[in-house]
Amino acid sequence: MSDTWNGNLGNQIPTGNAVRDGASATGLYTVDVTIPSGMNKECFTKDNWTTYTNVPTGNSPLGSMSNNECPSQDEVLAVF
């Protein structure tokens, strides 16, 4: 896993750092609540996306995932 959005492949799960970077790299979402530094290298779960960003996690394919599942970058982008 890379610390940048573009450093990851679409089928990889982004870390907190990559999620922060992806907000500006994609322009599709914003980070609404500061992501704690302890999450910099951790996989982002659906619940994390809901808590820290404005990504519409009720849309498919995220809508069918449990809160503790970690969506790939492609799955996150598919909601837009």
Return the pLDDT at 49: 98
DSSP 8-state symbol, 62? G
At CA 38, angle to CA 36 and CA 40, rounded to 5? 85
Closest by Cα among 65, 60, 12 to 22: 12
pLDDT, averaged across the chain:
96
* Digit-coded pLDDT (tens) for 24-58: 999 999 999 999 999 999 999 999 999 999 999 99
Where are the domains positioned within the chain? 16-77
C-alpha 18/C-alpha 65 separation (Å) is 20
Reduced to 3 states, what is the DSSP secondary structure of residue 25? Answer: helix
Return the pLDDT at 37: 97
Return the pLDDT at 9: 95
